[in-house]
Amino acid sequence: MTQPSEPVRVSILGKEYQIACTPDERADLYASAALLDERMRTVRDAGRVVGADRIAVMVALNLAHEMLQSRRSLDQMETRTPDRLNALADAVEKRLRETARTAINGP
């Protein structure tokens, strides 16, 4: 059964927003709002971008870029992991065969 949404207040760049979310999503909403607020303050304080809308777009672009880089990195790890696991399994099997031969035949 889904939980009912409840209004939650967050502050981003000094402005209050009321957002509906379920109780189990509340901690993530607060963390997301804190991250967004921090990033927007950093862009604003750098002084290169003026206006909350433009600051929000710059931060959104930066976050989207970071997400895409993370997704690419994860895809690369997922692609390489099976090959690495197979190589490790082969190395373990080879070592076990060598150890078994040594135990049977002596050093």
Query: Pick the residue with more confidence: 8 or 80?
Result: 8
CA 9 – CA 64 distance, rounded (Å):
24
Residue 51 lies in a domain: yes
Residue 89 lies in a domain: no
For residue 48, give the amino acid letter.
R
Residue 103: pLDDT over 80:
no
Query: Does the predicted model carry a pTM greater than 0.75?
Result: no
Residue-level pLDDT at 18: 97
Mean pLDDT in residue range 59-82 = 92
Residue-level pLDDT at 106: 66
Residue 57 lies in a domain: yes
CA dihedral for 86, 91, 94, 95, sign (positive or negative): negative
Contacting residues for 12 by C-beta, under 8 A, at least 6 apart:
33, 36, 37, 40
- Domain total of the chain: 1
What CATH number is given to the structural domain containing 67?
Answer: 3.30.160.880
Helices vs strands, H then E, count in the chain: 2, 2
Residue 93: pLDDT over 80:
yes
Residue 105 lies in a domain: no
Residue 41: pLDDT over 90:
yes
Residue 1: pLDDT over 70:
no
CA distances from 45 to 8, 51, 80, 105 (A): 27, 12, 41, 73
% residues pLDDT > 70 (the chain): 97
